[in-house]
Amino acid sequence: MRLKYCRIVGASILSIPLIFAATVSSPAGSLAGSKGEVHFAPTLGSDPKSQCNVAYKAYIAASGHSAYATTFYSRVVDLYIICGTKLNAPSQKAAEETALRSCQAGLARWKVKTASGGCAISASK
């Protein structure tokens, strides 16, 4: 009879580290499907196949540290939305820097002047 209770107590004690391991490791999972830290809502065009829409969907689907940078959009003045992304970078800061440089390179490449003056990080994770 005594051995029966020792097994139950032993199993209960051994299950405690498993419970803690499962709860601690769950937040460190994949970032896929997460919007991350949203600094401002990105303005996406009406065409679902536009480059910025595709880039934003890829940012959401990315499983690692990623960032999405875009120009601010003024319907009255601006005709274009320029964006840049960095997917699965080693850190969130590295992703933000690369995405911002990518967006600024797009402004320089197409020689576009926006009313807002440039690019900013819209969301990062």
Distance, in Å, from the CA atom of 119 to the CA atom of 108, rounded to the nearest integer, reads 11
Instruction: Give the chain's largest Cα–Cα span.
Output: 84
9-61 residue pLDDT tens: 555 565 555 454 444 444 457 899 999 999 999 988 889 999 999 999 999 99
Cα distances from 74 to residues 5, 24, 43, 77, 81, in angstroms, run: 71, 44, 10, 6, 10
Q: What is the pTM of this model?
A: 0.74
Q: In the predicted model, what is the mean pLDDT of the chain? A: 82
